[in-house]
Amino acid sequence: WNPVGAGGGALRHLELYVIAGGAFLDMCVEVLYSTHLHIFAPGGGVNPAHLNDLEHGGMLLMFFLVGALALLSENTRTGQDGPEGEGLATLVQARPCGHELVSKLASAAGSPVLESMTPVEESAEAYHEYSNGGSSCELYLPLTEGALCLLAATAYTAELLLFYFHSTTHQGLEGYYHYLLVVLVGLCVASAVLGALLPASFPADLASGLLITLQGLWFYQTAFTLYGPMLPEGCHRDAGGDIDCHGH
Residue 241 lies in a domain: no
Structure confidence at residue 129 (pLDDT): 47
Strands 235-237 and 243-245 turn out to be: antiparallel
Residue 234 lies in a domain: no
Q: Where does a domain end: 92, 122, 155?
A: 92
161 and 114 within one domain? no
Q: What is the pLDDT of residues 24-45, one digit of tens each?
A: 999 999 999 888 888 888 877 8
Contacts of 107 (CB under 8 A, 6+ apart): 115
Residue 22 lies in a domain: yes
185 and 149 within one domain? yes
Task: Quote the CA–CA distance of 188 and 64 in Å, as a whole number.
Answer: 17
Do 63 and 19 meet the contact criterion of CB atoms below 8 Å apart?
yes
User: Around Cβ 181, how many Cβ atoms within 10 Å?
Assistant: 20
Do 156 and 192 meet the contact criterion of CB atoms below 8 Å apart?
yes
125 and 38 within one domain? no
Averaged pLDDT for residues 218-224: 92
195 and 181 within one domain? yes
Domain that holds residue 216: 144-228
Do 71 and 17 meet the contact criterion of CB atoms below 8 Å apart?
yes
pLDDT at 240 over 80: no
Most confident of 35-44, 72-81, 167-176, 214-223: 214-223
80 and 14 within one domain? yes
User: Higher pLDDT residue, 155 or 144?
Assistant: 155
195 and 175 within one domain? yes
203-231: b or e for each residue (b if 16 or more CB lie within 10 Å)? Answer: ebbebbeebbeebeebeebbeebbeeeeb
103 and 83 within one domain? no
100 and 88 within one domain? no
User: Higher pLDDT residue, 19 or 86?
Assistant: 19
Question: What is the DSSP annotation of 158-172?
Answer: HHHHHHHS-SS---H
Residue 201 lies in a domain: yes
Q: Where does a domain end: 136, 166, 196?
A: 136
Residue 242 lies in a domain: no
Q: How far is CA 12 from CA 84, 151, 208, in A?
A: 15, 20, 20
Q: Where does a domain end: 24, 59, 92?
A: 92
198 and 155 within one domain? yes
67 and 86 within one domain? yes
4 and 86 within one domain? yes
How much is the pTM?
0.69
- Domain count of the fold of the chain: 3
At CB < 8 A and 24+ separation, what contacts does 3-8 make?
Answer: 8/78, 8/82
Q: How far is CA 201 from CA 74, 146, 195, 206, in A?
A: 20, 12, 7, 9
Q: What is the pLDDT of residues 100-129, one digit of tens each?
A: 444 544 454 555 544 555 554 554 554 454
Structure confidence at residue 214 (pLDDT): 95
Residue 235 lies in a domain: no
User: Higher pLDDT residue, 85 or 177?
Assistant: 177
Residue 45 lies in a domain: yes
Residue 245 lies in a domain: no
11 and 87 within one domain? yes
Averaged pLDDT for residues 43-52: 80
